[in-house]
A and B are shown apart, each in its own frame.
Chain A
């Protein structure tokens, strides 16, 4: 009786049976003939010997990380289910009698010999030859049933590039995988393939070197609404990003976009992924014409056509909140939304033009104008208030 069996009995002893006088434990009464020790089979084997011969009335279960299956018994063998017999790993086989586990073993399904195509992952696909650790090739060897294998395996790496064919041998001795680092290839495209014993092979993998700086690209702006509301966003895609040699730049290269108008400059950053960089740009708040330039390593590599944004003011209202305080607003656009915070409100005094008022701007669609000071210096009759392209003339004569 091994430790596992002792544990099962301990478990039953720990369980609740016997607490209540109405519940009685139902220990297994079969003859204690023999039970097998742990078993080991090769992936693909379809049967196991019966693990416990004390009774013909036992249920056998195979439990693994993936799930649980009932084992069918035929004569003196147990049939492994198709879905698991090919999957290497350690499983538990339970013999159950009247809902009680009476025996349990570990079953190890071992992987077969390494076989077929090696699973390979190469990344980054393109590597910058300036300040870059290179490209890493992760390889995983499996058997014919896709089971991972942790045996030492001798690999041959074959390279095909401008300088011809080269070979390198290395031992795959990690657990389940090997990782090989390739230095950056200077402006070159090299194909690499792996071979191993038992006709192990991989697909050909391209290693490309590139400068870490882009010098050319194409800018695409699929759609934007020319509304200077500071709320909309539009997408800028930068494609065909190449270095000075005409090679695609490395994955992860940093690009910037600067969108500049007369009164504002905004900067956005994005990394090159799958050969493109995508930016989500916020519409400017103020009307005007904006330039959009793409930068790499501090240099402009491409500029889009100038973009024009307009603040569309469709409603401009006001009310007096006291004798000398004027509240301007709500100021809304053609979608009946408040104009963005910070939108300038231009106020001029037609009959007191030598005086000026401090600059004010909208907040939540409103701005407040205090006329107390100006009333003491000039006899105002009218105020001109302009937001966007809309202007209001307001009678502002000082009340008596």
Chain B
């Protein structure tokens, strides 16, 4: 009997390991998104910050703290309402809505046969009334920007952008502000705004790019922002300059620039990098939203806020060349779905053009076969080249002609720790040859380029390239400068 129990326990353990192992492997092989394992979304319930503006009237000035309390309750009330519409669970709503309003919502949810995803991106509020004892308030929302999509049997419809105007009566019940009554006064489609963009000066610099992708040797990827060392940046930019490059590409990971303390901590660092780059006559292409938190509409709120804050605070910096809004989004198709990924890209492209009218905007595909995607929306096309080298320049030239847009080869390179050549000690000469071939092709066809990458890395943080040790090992040695600071032969290609 004991033996039977032991075997059963062993069998159960094996099954458990198999399931967990499969989940881990599935997670790490799921494209460019590497959110924390077993975490469905980075958004927690209260980590939700739509943009809110108040009309600065007398009432608001007099009751500012009450207005802010109302604001928080309104944000939460609509967050939970949208969450309920999505999940068809209304329990949380009792805390935010008066019984009559709750009954209407609850009845609708019970009869809801179609799925709806919705998020409020921003509110423009006005305090119309506050009673003397601060127990009754009337709030008008002049404009709330909404994103919404209908989902019919897992089939996601296109994202609909609209704005709405509504009024709320809010009363204090059991010590909390609750929505007593409301009315929607108008709803209108948010027309794609034609902003007065003046990107020509910066766009004209794209064909001149001779660039390099940059992480410091000791702190690539997730380690970059927390370990940022100004002296290292200065030394590295000096080296980049000496090697003959005029542009660098850096990465702003989504979580390192989340609204709140992360953003406040890292924005000055980013601005400092732009300053140092400017001092070294280097232009910067920041790549935003690296390792994003998912493409649910509720997540759009944070993306929008992050984009607006970054672009508003940095768009006047002379060191900035262009914005890349997403690295290799095609790798997200398998994990997040093609439609959800493309909807999100369309959204951030539209918003980015409103927030920064001076700099070109792009996204960079891991595979050149996707370059047609959103080619009308981006200001220049951008791709990475690690495979399918045969006549690649012909495809690029054709695309450039058809679209009338510059095409930037934003990443290419060769690891010096790869395959047989590594064992035979020829890996660095192989890297030199392959990079030189591509550079010569670029120069012959006037294709601007950026090499991956400056340094070999001592360590690759977990979660970036999955669990396979041979993949991680290969990724450590794409640098054209060795870990000890000595130059590999490939540096000679660029040195003036």
Alpha-carbon separation in the docked complex, A61 to B191 (Å): 22
Query: What 0/1 pattern do residues 142 to 154 of B give for CB contact below 8 A with A?
Result: 0000001010100
**Is the pair B108, A83 in contact by a Cβ cutoff of 8 Å?**
yes
In the bound complex, how far is the Cα of B188 from the Cα of A3, in angstroms? 10
Q: A14-B377, A88-B183 are in contact. Are A99 and B157 (CB under 8 A)?
A: yes
B352 within 8 A of A: no
- Report which of A94, A135, A175, A181 forms a contact with B150, defined as CB distance below 8 A: A94
Report the minimum CB–CB distance from B75 to chain A (whole Å): 14
Most buried by A among B109, B160, B166: B160
**Cβ-defined contact, B128 with A175, below 8 A:** yes
The residues of B that contact A241 with a CB separation of less than 8 Å are none
Tell me if A91 is interfacial: C-beta within 8 Å of chain B: yes
Are B160 and A69 touching (Cβ within 8 A)? no
Interface hits, A4-45 → B, CB 8 Å: 4, 7-8, 10-12, 14-16, 18-20, 23
A279 to B112, CA, bound (A): 49
Q: What residue in chain A is nearest B182 (Cβ atoms)?
A: A65
CB pair B183–A179 under 8 Å, yes or no, is no
A68's partner among B116, B180, B342 (CB-CB below 8 A) is B116
Contact B133 A123 (CB under 8 A): yes
- Is B250 on the interface with A (CB-CB < 8 A)? no
* Chain A: minimal CB distance from B205 (Å): 27
A16-B339 contact in complex given A68-B112, A81-B108, C-beta closer than 8 Å: yes
Chain A min CB distance to B426 (Å): 38
Q: How far is the CB of B56 from chain A (nearest CB, A)?
A: 19
Would B108 and A66 count as touching, CB distance under 8 A? yes
Inter-subunit contact A142/B181 (CB<8 Å): yes
Which residues of chain A come closer than 8 Å to B420, judged between CB atoms?
A: none
B183 and A20 contact, CB distance less than 8 A: no
Q: Is the CB of B169 within 8 A of A140?
A: yes
Chain B: which residue is nearest A15 at the CB level? B158
* Nearest-Cβ distance from residue A271 to partner chain B, whole angstroms: 12
- Verify B155–A99 contact, CB threshold 8 A: yes
- Chain A contact residues (Cβ within 8 angstroms of B): what range? 35 or more
In the complex formed, the residue of B with least CB distance to A65 is B184
**Across-interface contacts of A101 in B (CB, < 8 A):** 150, 157-158, 160
Q: Which of B135, B138, B148 contacts A177 (CB 8 A)?
A: B138
Residue of A nearest to B171 (CB): A121
Which of A85-116 touch B at CB < 8 Å?
Answer: 87-92, 94, 96, 99-101, 106, 111
Q: What separation, in Å, do the CA atoms of A14 and B189 have in the docked complex?
A: 15
Asked if B152 and A140 make an inter-chain contact with CB atoms under 8 angstroms apart, the answer reads no
Question: Any chain B CB within 8 A of the CB of A325?
Answer: no
A89–B183 touching, CB < 8 Å: yes
Tell me whether B132 is interfacial, beta carbon within 8 Å: yes
Bound: A268/B107 CA distance, A? 48
B276 at the interface (CB under 8 A from A): no
Report the Cα distance A106→B100, complex, angstroms.
24
- Chain B residue numbers with a CB within 8 Å of A66 are 81, 101, 104-105, 108
Contact B181 A148 (CB under 8 A): yes
Which of B128, B133, B152, B164 has the most C-beta atoms of chain A within 10 angstroms of its own C-beta?
B133
Against A, the Cβ 8 Å flags (1 = close, 0 = not) of B110-150 are 01111010000000000011011101101010000000101
Bound Cα distance A124, B135 (Å)? 9
Residue from the list B101, B109, B114, B131 in contact with A179, Cβ < 8 A: B131
Given contacts A83-B108, A175-B140, A176-B169, whether A123 and B135 have CB atoms under 8 Å apart is yes
CA distance A67 to B84 in the complex (A): 9
Smallest distance from the beta carbon of A14 to chain B beta carbons, Å? 5
Given A121-B136, A136-B131: A19 and B372 interface contact (C-beta under 8 Å): yes
Q: Decide yes or no whether B343 CB sits under 8 A from chain A.
A: yes
Q: Which residue of A lies closest to B110 (CB)?
A: A83
| Given known A-B contacts A16-B373, A67-B108, A106-B187, A174 and B158 have beta carbons under 8 A apart | no
Asked if residues B129 and A67 are in contact (CB atoms below 8 Å), the reply is no
Q: Within 8 Å CB of A96, what residues of B?
A: 150, 152, 157
Q: Which residue of B lies closest to A125 (CB)?
A: B133
A90 in contact with B191 (CB, 8 Å)? no
Find the residue from A66, A82, A90, A252 having the highest chain B CB count within 10 A.
Answer: A66
Say whether A11 contacts B160, CB under 8 Å: yes
- A147 proximal to B (CB < 8 A): yes
- Bound together, the chains give a CA A10 to CA B166 distance in angstroms of 26
B208 at the interface (CB under 8 A from A): no
B403 CB, min distance to chain A CBs, angstroms: 13
Which chain B residue lies CB-closest to A70?
B113
The distance from the CB of B180 to the nearest CB of chain A, in whole angstroms, is 8
Asked whether A121 lies within 8 Å of B129 as measured between CB atoms, the reply is no
CA distance A63 to B157 in the complex (A): 15
Chain A residues whose C-beta falls within 8 Å of the C-beta of B152 in the assembled complex: 96, 99
Inter-subunit contact A123/B131 (CB<8 Å): yes
What are the residues of chain B within 8 A of A284 when measuring CB–CB? none
Q: Does A84 contact B (CB under 8 A)?
A: yes
Given contacts A15-B342, A16-B346, A136-B133, contact A87 B372 (CB under 8 A): no
Query: Which residues from chain B sit less than 8 Å from chain A, CB to CB?
Result: 81, 84-85, 100-101, 104-105, 107-109, 111-114, 116, 128-129, 131-133, 135-136, 138, 140, 148, 150, 152, 155, 157-162, 164, 166-167, 169, 171, 180-189, 191-192, 338-339, 342-343, 345-346, 350, 370, 372-374, 377
Q: Which residues of A contact B (CB under 8 A)?
A: 3-4, 7-8, 10-12, 14-16, 18-20, 23, 59, 61, 63-70, 81-84, 87-92, 94, 96, 99-101, 106, 111, 119, 121, 123-124, 133-136, 138, 140, 142, 146-148, 174-177, 179, 181, 251-252
Q: A67-B108, A96-B152, A123-B131 are in contact. List 6 more A-B contacts (CB 8 A).
A: A14-B192, A64-B184, A65-B164, A84-B104, A99-B155, A175-B128
